[in-house]
Amino acid sequence: MITSDLSIAVNALNQGELVAIPTETVYGLAGSAFNEQAIQKIFQLKNRPTCNPLILHTHCISEVSKFVKEIPPNAMKLAEAFWPGPLTLLLPKKSNIPNSVTSGSHLVAVRIPNHAVTLSLLQQLDFPLVAPSANPYTRISPTNAKMVDDYFGEALPVILEGDICAKGIESTIVGFHDNIPVIYRQGAISVDAIEFIAGKSKVQATIKEKVTTPGMSPMHYAPMTKFCIVDSVLDFIYENRDLKIGALTLGKLEINQPNTSVIHLSINGDIEEASANLYKSMYDLDGMNLDCIIIEKFPEIGIGKSLNDRIQRASFK
């Protein structure tokens, strides 16, 4: 059920049930961080390996201090700059955070989402929420309530309506080694923006690495349809005219081929607009019974690096 009634969500969460919540990044599959049964329901409904940690969501920095032992100076700088917002910090957890949330790690991933509906929800609860993306494991993250409902149907009885997610890709995950930022997942806040606040960072490799934080799984955000990164969308279509092709483009591209469906992520070539539209566009093409979906790499500037990370994982086999 898709609803705007917060009281329904509050009641469900208090009873240990799961609720899909909107954020500025993607929709989350949320349950109480203090309820072991709810935590296990998340892993089971998503078919997510329990070795893949969850992100803790709360509504203010003072609440964060209840769940972590310390916030390093650079972490506090980033929190003050970007919270509420698409920033997740890896911090030493207190004992009140179950090991199942962190997959046994001494670090917990925590963030304050920038969405009025979910902030209001969090303020009405006596516990933080854990909330990975509200999709089956490895599939495209949902950016509206209908996508969540399509994925789970009656298996998830409460989905909070929150319109389209403004950022459209997941949060940037930052940990710290001797107060130096380590970026474990590139996301809706660019590496440049992180470094402007906290100085030089290290970007942790994710492909073929052991999953130690949320967002490090090599194959993720993927449609069922074969997904390919190509050097030239036009050339690929011309050379494969017998295939039914879905094309995602940055900027307007005139393509007049009967077997081709084109979605312009941003007619004006705006990276932020493309980010907001990427997952929904992938999802729409995935439902068209195509032979493949193609895309060119984004410019390696700003969050273009994060978008390239997402399409690389979507094409990972």
Condensed to tens digits (0 to 9), the pLDDT of residues 145-178 reads 999 999 999 999 999 999 999 999 999 999 999 9
Helix, coil or strand: residue 139: strand
pLDDT value for 208: 47
pLDDT grade for 210, boundaries at 50, 70 and 90: low
Q: Is residue 146 helix, strand or coil?
A: helix
Q: Which of 66, 132, 123, 70 is nearest to 96 (CA)?
A: 66
Question: Averaged over 266-289, what is the pLDDT?
Answer: 97
Helix (H, G, I), strand (E, B) or coil at 94: coil
Closest CA to 222 of 302, 283, 304: 283
Helix (H, G, I), strand (E, B) or coil at 202: strand
**DSSP 8-state symbol, 215:** T
Place of tokens 């494969």: 240
Phi, psi (deg, nearest 5) at residue 143: -120, 10
Report DSSP state, residue 155: G
CA pair distance 66, 317, nearest whole angstrom: 41
| The two three-digit tokens of residue 166, written as one number | 């403004």
Tell whether the torsion through CA atoms of 282, 288, 289 and 292 is positive or negative. negative
Token digits of residue 260: 């081709």
% of the chain beyond a pLDDT of 90:
91
Asked whether the predicted pLDDT for residue 219 surpasses 90, the reply is no
The one-letter amino acid at 180: I
Q: Which of 192, 211, 208, 190 is CA-nearest to residue 200?
A: 192
Q: Is the peptide bond before 84 cis (omega within 30 degrees of 0)?
A: yes
* pTM of the predicted structure, to 2 decimals: 0.94
Ranges of H-type helices in 15-114:
36-46, 61-64, 73-82, 99-102
